[in-house]
Amino acid sequence: MRKKEEVDFAKIFKGKKIPIVVLDERWHQLFPDYDKPAQVKVLESKLNELMKQQGKLTNDLKDLKKLKNQLMGEIITHMDVNDTKEGKLKEKKLDQNQRLIREIGDKIKDAENQLIDLPYQIKDANEELIIESTAICYKRLSDNTEKIAEINQWIQSIREQLKVKILEKQDMEMKNTDIYNYMHDMLGPDLLQELDEDIKKGK
């Protein structure tokens, strides 16, 4: 496996369509809050903030358009202005609504302009996060592969030692059996039992 510094992750991901990382549950499993590198936290926060901003602007835009339509409707109902007291109130309301519609129009234009740019900002922030995440995952893979190789060597070594110890144990058990059989034949079962009991007492 190549070293992390040899891999140009930015070049690999450039121009690629990448899903929003923070919306993928598997990404959160790889980077849980208790084990999240500082730089990943910074980039995740940046992306989340941009997405919240996009959501808020989208909702604000809907509300502003709804309000604009309401005011436009009111203008239509207050069109019949005249010199009466009621007519002058209608004229005042009409002017107020027209002023509000102009202000809302400016806000709508501003929100729409921001919403044009935000997807590109989100794409860039998401790309930054996937590049950092992939670099970290790549490093973890490399470290884990090395550790796995070390553990495999250790397991192989233990297996060899285990084989030797098993043979050693079997050899000692056979020798014990031979010794016991010889003493049984030479001393007889009664004397051997007496010896066994004396040895146990002496322990």
Which tens digit of pLDDT belongs to each residue from 29-86?
A: 999 999 999 999 999 999 999 999 999 999 999 999 999 888 888 777 666 655 566 6
3-state secondary structure of 35: helix
Largest CA distance in the chain: 141
62 vs 198: which has the higher pLDDT: 62
Residue 181 covered by a domain: yes
End-to-end Cα spacing for the chain: 60
Distance CA 179, CA 89 (A): 123
Question: Comparing 166 with 8, which gets the higher pLDDT?
Answer: 166
One domain for residues 22 and 120: yes
Q: Which one has a higher pLDDT value, 185 or 78?
A: 185
Which range of residues forms the domain containing residue 122? 9-156
Exposed e or buried b for every residue in 99-127, given b needs 16+ CB within 10 A?
ebbeebeebbeebeeeeeebeebbeebbb
Tokens of 76: 């239509």
- Round to whole Å and give the CA distance between 142 and 138: 6
Q: Which two tokens stand for residue 40?
A: 């990943």
Query: How many Å apart are CA 181 and CA 183, to the nearest integer?
Result: 6
Q: What is the pTM of this model?
A: 0.68
Considering the domain architecture, whether residues 94 and 177 belong to the same structural domain is answered as no
Helical (H) or strand (E) element with 17: none
The per-residue pLDDT for 4 is 44
- CB distance 128 to 81 below 8 Å: no
Assess if residue 4 is contained within a domain.
Answer: no
Is residue 30 domain-shared with residue 93, that is, in the same domain? yes
pLDDT at residue 88 tops 80: no
Q: Specify whether 122 is located in the same domain as 190.
A: no
Instruction: Answer whether residue 42 is part of any domain.
Output: yes
**How buried is residue 19: exposed, middle or buried, by Cβ count under 10 Å (0-12/13-18/19+)?**
exposed
Q: How many domains does the chain contain in total?
A: 2
pLDDT of residue 90: 64
Residue 20 and residue 127 in contact, taking contact as beta carbons nearer than 8 Å:
no
* Same structural domain, 101 and 182: no
| pLDDT level of residue 10 (50, 70, 90 thresholds) | confident
